[in-house]
Structure 1
């Protein structure tokens, strides 16, 4: 394990909450608060300057949306993990945050221990959902709560499975009734979301997680007379 502390930025439009969260972080061993921001624009500027490991993100900001801020931070700084800390406990907010790239979601009523676990978890690459949120997310996103790659859409996950089975883009397009361009776009999105450099890396990662092991049933169809 690295001896370097987990560097955290707090983004929230309520100064009292920022102050309280910063004070909490200062009490945690191996975690360091390296900045605070009150809105989405300041958050992007701060993250670009201090390059934290984790951003604690509220969803209701005075200026800008925490969802959009999360999306842009993940686009511009893929190594930064976002842990949403919000009072919003509705399904739409949870799903939107995960779709935007958040790696965790805890409620503002969570204990200090839960917040600490969330920070350490997302910093380590885990998906962290506090309390009953994990079960709800699995249902809402159409996957088990412990399913791999929750940041992918249903379509992207389906395509990843077929990639892992050894199917080329034209075969995937035919199998799913999609255009070749749509398949290419989805493959590109998969690589971006999983921070991978190539199709081969995506296939290897998917197979490591038990998805789409190739088998004889996946051999290319023989071209010829149509039924």
Structure 2
């Protein structure tokens, strides 16, 4: 009996000793091209509306698959493609702003990692570009937030422009959708403002970005509820 028990324990010990554990988690890829906040002029024309752009990124540690996601910021329409390669060619609209990112994955793991999110304009016939639509950061759309002791909530956003000549942000804020009341107009360096709120109320907000040449873009509407 002792001999059998010893044999069982030995088998279990060897089995545990050979357990390599779960596969390592993939890391986020470093993006290469198209450059961040740039105009992409290397696309190959497909037709009057589309050009083919090659997206490139560095290999990510512990990753064997990558999912490229490209979003047209005018329409919010996404395109996604999965590849084992670190470059993918995609046909996208000419003269439009885009965001792009890469999600790294490992076939032996359920874990993923996502790269930074970069913005760019795909070259078109125009010689000047509107600013990229402002990225609304805080509060996130659909979030429920806590007001501070002064009954205020902070609104934060990020703006970028190919020519780097943003002149102002106009923040619209109201209880109606779309928001129709101008809350504040700031210069191109101010990226946050506080607003007075009431508990139990849902609010809507958006940011209009304008550059030195009068070009403008609309962030789209975000909403949040106050506790």
Normalised to the residue count of structure 2, the TM-score between the two structures is 0.29
Q: Radius of gyration: which is bigger?
A: 2
Normalised to the residue count of structure 1, the TM-score between the two structures is 0.29
Flag the structure with higher strand content: 2
